[in-house]
């Protein structure tokens, strides 16, 4: 893969993520749209034979916009339905379902594309989303409650959420760490195909093993957290995960053996699951009901900063190579994360 291909690949991936973050902070004031909408749009696109690059980029924007509202609404609903005592397990179980979907989904998608074509495949996906919506119809009454900021305007929700988030030391640390992780750490995932080809000198099957290693680590970590047997306080688990993950990325950059790379990515998956589950849990547990949705929207916006890192890692890798880029990103992440995470791990109050 040449340098131009690397940059173009990262730019395409960034489009969906950029739209994800753009409107996320207003999620408390707007009902979550149906995820079936982008699937239906793709049915029309491929059914009419208009599935070109520009149209697909536009579809990515639509998909990202639906996620801006879906993610915070979904995670806040878990808290509303189950309460503080079980929210960590609930978030982890949702992560488990997402990891399983990442394993089963591509297999089903490949089979459908091969046998049915893109239009019919996306029609099946839209039907699946519609089934999910029908299953959720009965939850509306259980999610209503007094004191929730559902009548706030977008501007009011944003102001209240920002004031609460910045005034709470734990939430502030989580948001800043989230930005660092999404701009400096997670973009490595988009460069794994380049790393596998140019550094490890392996093909698609070995690349699949690398990706599967990370996925299996994330799945196992989410299962352990969901079981309630991690044995660690939430803040300690979050802080430890975000300290370990960039260090493992540095180790991965020096790996020249496939087996070692799979092991390192498995361990990175474990750390990523701790970060992902505790990121949401700490925010949900640290803010009052009236601004919980708004603060979750701000968290979503922080996650949506990843396109900045995605574009940057493509540019850096084109000029410096993938291993050195991994090292620079990981070191920069640790510079930001260490002063924020150490107090969490020690249970100390933050300034």
51 or 98, which is more confident? Answer: 98
- Predicted TM-score (pTM) of the model is 0.77
Cβ contact 166:291 at 8 Å? no
How does the average pLDDT of the chain come out, rounded?
Answer: 80
351 inside domain? no
Confidence check: pLDDT of 276 > 80 = yes
Q: How many CB atoms lie within 10 A of CB 347?
A: 10
Predicted pLDDT of residue 37 = 65
319 or 137, which is more confident? Answer: 319
Number of residues that make up the chain = 351
Considering 105-114, 243-252, 337-346, the range whose residues carry the highest mean pLDDT is 243-252
235 or 149, which is more confident? Answer: 235
43 inside domain? yes
What CATH number did the domain enclosing 291 receive?
1.20.1250.20
Predicted pLDDT of residue 181 = 96
Taking each helix axis as running N to C, give the angle between helix 322-346 and helix 169-180, from 0 to 180 degrees, rounded to the nearest 10: 170
Q: What is the mean pLDDT of residues 220-248?
A: 88
Confidence check: pLDDT of 350 > 60 = no
68 inside domain? yes
Distance CA 172, CA 169 (A): 5
Cα radius of gyration rounded to whole Å, the chain:
20
Confidence check: pLDDT of 25 > 70 = no
302 inside domain? yes
Query: Of 315, 303, 235, nearest to 19 (Cα)?
Result: 303
Predicted pLDDT of residue 86 = 82
Range of the domain at 138: 3-346
Predicted pLDDT of residue 123 = 83
66 inside domain? yes
Percent of the chain with pLDDT over 70: 79
Predicted pLDDT of residue 199 = 93
113 or 150, which is more confident? Answer: 113
Distance CA 278, CA 296 (A): 13
pLDDT band at 21 (very low <50, low <70, confident <90, very high): very low
Total domains, the chain: 1
Distance CA 337, CA 271 (A): 14
172 inside domain? yes
Predicted pLDDT of residue 267 = 97
């Amino acid at each position: 893969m040449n340098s131009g291909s690397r940059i173009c690949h990262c730019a395409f991936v960034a489009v969906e993520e950029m739209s994800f973050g753009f409107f996320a902070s207003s999620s408390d004031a707007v009902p979550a749209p149906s995820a079936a909408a982008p699937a239906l749009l793709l049915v029309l696109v491929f059914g009419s034979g208009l599935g070109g690059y520009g149209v697909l980029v536009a579809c990515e924007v639509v998909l990202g916009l639906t996620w801006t509202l879906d993610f915070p609404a979904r995670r806040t609903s878990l808290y509303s339905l189950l309460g503080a005592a079980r929210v960590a397990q609930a978030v982890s179980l949702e992560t488990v379902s997402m990891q399983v979907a990442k394993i089963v989904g591509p297999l089903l998608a490949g089979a459908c594309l091969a046998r049915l074509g893109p239009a019919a495949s996306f029609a099946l996906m839209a039907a699946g989303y519609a089934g999910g919506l029908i299953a959720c119809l009965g939850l509306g009454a259980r999610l209503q409650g007094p004191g929730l900021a559902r009548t706030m305007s977008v501007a009011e929700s944003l102001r209240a959420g920002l004031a609460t988030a910045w005034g709470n030391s734990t939430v502030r640390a989580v948001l800043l760490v989230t930005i660092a992780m999404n701009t400096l750490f997670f973009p490595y995932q988009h460069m794994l195909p380049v790393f596998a080809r140019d550094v490890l000198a392996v093909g698609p099957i070995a690349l699949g093993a690398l990706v599967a290693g990370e996925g299996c680590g994330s799945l196992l970590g989410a299962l352990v957290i969901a079981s309630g047997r991690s044995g660690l306080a939430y803040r300690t688990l979050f802080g430890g995960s975000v300290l370990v993950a960039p260090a493992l990325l540095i180790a991965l950059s020096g790996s020249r053996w496939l087996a070692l790379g799979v092991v390192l990515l498995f361990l990175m998956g474990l750390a990523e699951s701790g970060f992902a589950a505790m990121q949401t849990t700490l925010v949900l547990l640290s803010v009052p009901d009236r601004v919980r949705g708004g603060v979750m929207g701000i968290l979503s916006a922080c996650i949506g900063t990843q396109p900045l890192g995605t574009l940057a890692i493509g540019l850096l890798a084109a000029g410096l190579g993938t291993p050195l880029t991994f090292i620079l990103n990981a070191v920069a992440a640790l510079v930001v994360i260490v002063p924020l995470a150490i107090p969490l791990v020690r249970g100390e109050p933050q300034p």
